[in-house]
Amino acid sequence: MGVGHEESVLWISTLEIDAALLGRIAEKARPFRVIQTGEGDGDAVPLQDVEIWATYGDDVSTGILRCMPQLRWIQLLQSGYDRVPVDELRRRGIRMTTTHGVHAGAVAEYVLFMTLYFLRDMAHFQRLQVIRRWDRSITGTELAGKVLAVVGTGAIGKEIARRASAFGMKTIGINRSARPSPCFEQVVGIQNLDWVLSEADVVVSTLPGGLETRHFWNRERLEKLQRDAVFINVGRGSSVDTEGLLSVVRRGGLKGVALDVFEQEPLPALHPLWNTPGVVLTPHMAAKTREYLSRAVSCFLENLDRYRRGLHLVHEIAVQ
């Protein structure tokens, strides 16, 4: 079957695409037959004819891939792919691309919102509102002059630093090579992490998943943060030892914690994180904005054009 054969299917799954965006895709995809399905509706798709698959990625499994003999390319509408069976893609020669960097602005806004939430003690004022009490005894803290440390200086880390600098924050990036970045005032190697943690007012983790970063944030490391520091994780949940984090928080070791990602997703209803004071949880939605999907689809359409013309794909993951 050739690229773009009239019987080829472009399958869009797990994406809440409106009619306007779907129309843009259908127009650019001709002569592909575009099929969009919601979560769990894969049975309605002729999997044997799917050549291109656009998805967030949570539904990609070895089992379903083996039902798609014509599949040549998967476009993930996110940057992470730690749950994708890369070995199966490698074995089959299936290409995979991501929307790396497209969601950096949205995640950076989330980080700054959470930083302001804790430094201005908004949880306290929410409690006062519930009991209708006027109390001005609490004094918040300004962002200007505070130290924000970002572990991981990729696209998201850079955008967080760029926007935090506009608030007058001092930004420090931490990576393995200590390679400088113009978005940060200072970049240090991972060997200097303990020093940074002792100085930072806000620590943000953008670490990816995988064995190398699993439980990077263990109890011993989290205890090195200042007692009134804020910890925010927008990377991958597996990088945080949840039990170790709970131990530190319960002892009053941190001013606040914001978690958008978790070791287990969805987070079980009875998990102790839900009702731990000082912790704000969001269901892996830091990048989920009304504007994000349009940008991600534009990235996909650029790659679709490149795919049909035999050009290299943007943000292709080397699975070979």
Residues annotated as part of the active site: 236, 265, 284
User: DSSP letters along 182-228, please?
Assistant: TTSSEEEEGGGHHHHHHH-SEEEE----SGGGTT-B-HHHHTTS-TT
Angle between helices 104-119 and 122-130 (to 10 degrees): 70
DSSP H or E segment with residue 116: helix 104-119
Backbone angles phi, psi at 174, to 5 degrees: -125, 125
The residue among 247, 232, 250 whose CA lies nearest residue 286 is 232
Calculate the alpha carbon distances from 270 to 11, 145, 289, 306 in Å: 36, 39, 28, 47
